[in-house]
Amino acid sequence: MRFKYNIIFLMCFVTNLLFVSPVTASPSLGSPAPQFKGIDSNGNKVSLSDFQGKIVILEWTNHDCPYVRRQYMTGNMQMVQVKARDMGVVWITVISSAPGTQGYVNKRQANKLTSSRKALPSHVVMDPSGVIGKLYGARTTPHMYILDKKGILVYKGAIDDKPTSWGKIDAKTKNYVLDALTELMAGNIITHAATQPYGCSVKYGS
Amino acid sequence: MGVLAFVTLAQLSFSSNTLATNNETELVKVALISEAISAPKDLGIIWVGLHQKLQPNWHTYWRYAGDSGLPTKLKWETFKNVEVGKIHWPLPDIIRAGPLVNYGYENETLLLIPLTVKKKGPINLKAVAEWLVCREICIPQRKVLSLNLPEGNGQINPVNASLFKKFRRLVPEELHWPSKVYSIGNQITLIITMNMDELNSIDALHVFPGIDGLIENGEIQKFSKNKRNIIINMKAGYAIEEGLKFFEGMINIKRSHNESLNNRSYRIKKLPLLKR
């Protein structure tokens, strides 16, 4: 009798196995962030190792996701980008939408989005295969990561503490990325180093 | 100005690509419904529900949405004669999008809400519901809802009775077996102690975490049994590494040979994560 149930259990595993190809677990805080190489929207090769000695912010995006739209339409994301730039931070926007899914753009469209939204990324990395996204366990847009000057992951999670696509971003909103960046620059411990990212799912192809 | 900004944002959100041609309010029909046709004669608890009826392949979310998405929210006005309780969430579907896993509702759901009636008389409820409805893409929506129950004897509304019955059965009850959770290495192990008959009746089970980062949602949960216990091994999520000290969630148990107990869910309230 027990044997029979075990088979049912086993069948559950097999079915699960067929459907599951999990996002690689997100990298650990305090560990070196995973190395990656990619092509940016200007056709240039970008390697994380190019930016050693600099703070790097990774931003997963999908311009048609309402949560991303809210960030850019309110000017909030650009405000963070300006402050980050002034602190000498390298800002890498990553697009992991698979071809044919929401947020997928070609290089020209990516550049057009940057200029029309007055965004200030150092690079927009094209990741249609989702390899970089999965390497970082990126699951939402936006999903944010901060790497310190040694390439150690020091923040991962949401852009702020208001998981909504509605309304203005007011003074009561806590911008986790900006707070973490400020604490990092001051040499302080980051108060909220891992938060729950919110938004649309990253549109991986598989 | 604030209102204007809001309207603009809402419109822009809704004008998202391919959906421009659909009537988006129809993606999910949302209503506040009551189990009773009128306010009760005596003080006590009555049940209302947020009913969501979805177009095929679209879904809304459970209290913990999973790797992405957002739970449905209700903002109630305050009422003099009733106290509004928390949402009782029925068992969600497991919805996969590529490598991501979400917990939500396809087709139809009823989020149950208890009302404590403190004063006799008609009940007039008003709330703003906010929800995210997704297929491949996501659309945030909101609606102002109201429900008015005239003074009466609180008779069950025959139109809604089966809906309440169906979804109430899917709401978890408290886990009544002794249980422990261990956090060792990158594994979370839930152990539930039962008697032999109970153990043998179980065909399949699934753990739904209630907190982000508790387990890796997309990873396989491995179950086994010994003489007294069900043992479920799950891969630890990021929050464990960040120092999360407790487990919270739900377990769904399938017992295909026992109709009355098949597909039952049990709420696992905060359990400390033991290190052994």
Q: Which residues of B touch A25 (CB under 8 A)?
A: 216, 235, 237-238
The rounded distance, in Å, linking the Cα atoms of A28 and A145 is 11
Of B102, B132, B230, B262, which to mutate for an interface test with A (greatest number of A Cβ within 10 Å)? B132
The answer to whether residue B158 is domain-embedded is yes
Domains and CATH numbers, chain A: 23-201 (3.40.30.10)
- Helices (H), ranges, chain B: 2-14, 158-168, 196-200, 238-241
Q: Which of B141, B168, B195 is the last residue of a domain?
A: B168
> Does pLDDT of A2 surpass 80?
no
The answer to whether residue B80 is domain-embedded is yes
Per the model's pLDDT, the better-predicted residue between A96 and A27 turns out to be A96
Are B146 and B201 in a shared domain? no
Are B97 and B231 in a shared domain? no
The answer to whether residue B44 is domain-embedded is yes
Per the model's pLDDT, the better-predicted residue between A6 and B176 turns out to be B176
Counting beta carbons within 10 angstroms of the beta carbon of residue A81, is it exposed (0 to 12), middle (13 to 18) or buried (19 or more)?
Answer: buried
Residue B52, CA atoms < 13 Å, CB-side half-sphere: 34
Do the chains contact at A8 and B203, CB–CB below 8 Å? yes
Query: Considering CB atoms only, which of B102, B136, B216 is closest to A203?
Result: B136
Q: What is the mean pLDDT of chain A?
A: 89
Per the model's pLDDT, the better-predicted residue between A19 and A117 turns out to be A117
Are B47 and B140 in a shared domain? yes
Q: Which of B138, B168, B198 is the last residue of a domain?
A: B168
**Contacts of B248 by beta carbon, 8 Å cutoff, 6+ apart:** B209, B210, B211, B214, B268, B269, B270, B271
| Residue-range definition of the domain harbouring residue B181 | 173-274
The rounded distance, in Å, linking the Cα atoms of B44 and A124 is 59
Do the chains contact at A25 and B216, CB–CB below 8 Å? yes
Of A156, A200, A206, which to mutate for an interface test with B (greatest number of B Cβ within 10 Å)? A200
Separation in Å, CA B154 to CA A12, A35, A174, B47: 45, 64, 45, 11
Q: Which of A55-59, A166-170, B128-132 is predicted with the least confidence, judged by mean pLDDT?
A: A166-170
Counted domains in chain B: 2
pLDDT tens track for A138-161 = 999 999 999 999 999 999 999 999
Q: Which residues of B touch A73 (CB under 8 A)?
A: 9, 12
What pLDDT was estimated at residue B55? 96
**b/e string for B85-100 if b means 16 or more Cβ within 10 A?**
eebbbbbbebbbbbbb
> Does pLDDT of A7 surpass 70?
no
Nearest CA in chain B to A135: B99
Residue from A28, A134, A181 nearest B242 by CA: A28
Q: Which residues of B touch A168 (CB under 8 A)?
A: 2, 5-6
Do the chains contact at A204 and B97, CB–CB below 8 Å? yes
Are B190 and B160 in a shared domain? no
In which band, very low, low, confident or very high, does the pLDDT at A171 lie, cut at 50, 70 and 90?
confident
Of A201, A202, A203, A206, which to mutate for an interface test with B (greatest number of B Cβ within 10 Å)? A201
What pLDDT was estimated at residue B259? 83
Are B72 and B130 in a shared domain? yes
**Contacts of B44 by beta carbon, 8 Å cutoff, 6+ apart:** B116, B117
- CA A139 centroid distance within chain: 8
Nearest CA in chain B to A4: B203
Are B69 and B164 in a shared domain? yes
The answer to whether residue B267 is domain-embedded is yes
Instruction: Give the end-to-end CA distance of chain A in Å, rounded to a whole number.
Output: 38
Do the chains contact at A17 and B69, CB–CB below 8 Å? no
Do the chains contact at A64 and B241, CB–CB below 8 Å? no
Are B184 and B240 in a shared domain? yes
Are B162 and B195 in a shared domain? no
Q: Treating both helix axes as pointing N-terminal to C-terminal, what angle do B2-14 and A66-73 enclose, rounded to 10 degrees?
A: 140
What pLDDT was estimated at residue A206? 81
The rounded distance, in Å, linking the Cα atoms of A97 and A105 is 8
Q: Which of B135, B168, B201 is the last residue of a domain?
A: B168
pLDDT tens track for A92-134 = 999 999 999 999 999 999 999 999 999 999 999 999 999 999 9
Nearest CA in chain A to B206: A12
Are B91 and B142 in a shared domain? yes
Do the chains contact at B204 and A8, CB–CB below 8 Å? yes
The answer to whether residue B216 is domain-embedded is yes
Q: Provide ipTM, 2 decimals.
A: 0.79
Are B38 and B151 in a shared domain? yes
The rounded distance, in Å, linking the Cα atoms of A55 and B154 is 63
What pLDDT was estimated at residue B142? 93
Q: pLDDT tens string for chain B (276 positions)?
A: 333 333 333 333 433 333 333 455 589 999 999 999 999 999 999 999 999 999 999 999 999 999 999 999 999 999 999 999 999 999 999 999 888 999 999 999 999 999 999 999 999 999 999 999 999 889 999 999 999 999 999 999 999 999 999 999 999 999 999 999 999 999 999 999 999 999 999 999 999 999 999 999 999 999 999 999 999 999 999 999 888 999 999 999 999 888 888 999 999 999 999 997
What pLDDT was estimated at residue A14? 38
The rounded distance, in Å, linking the Cα atoms of B120 and B41 is 7
Are B131 and B246 in a shared domain? no
Q: What is the CATH number of the domain that holds B191?
A: 2.60.40
Q: Which residues of B touch A139 (CB under 8 A)?
A: 67-68, 100
Which two three-digit tokens encode residue B211?
């907190």
CA angle B76, B82, B86 (to 5 degrees): 50
The answer to whether residue B1 is domain-embedded is no
**Quick check: helix, strand or coil at residue B128?**
strand
Are B97 and B131 in a shared domain? yes
Q: Which residues pair with B230 in a beta bridge?
A: B192, B225
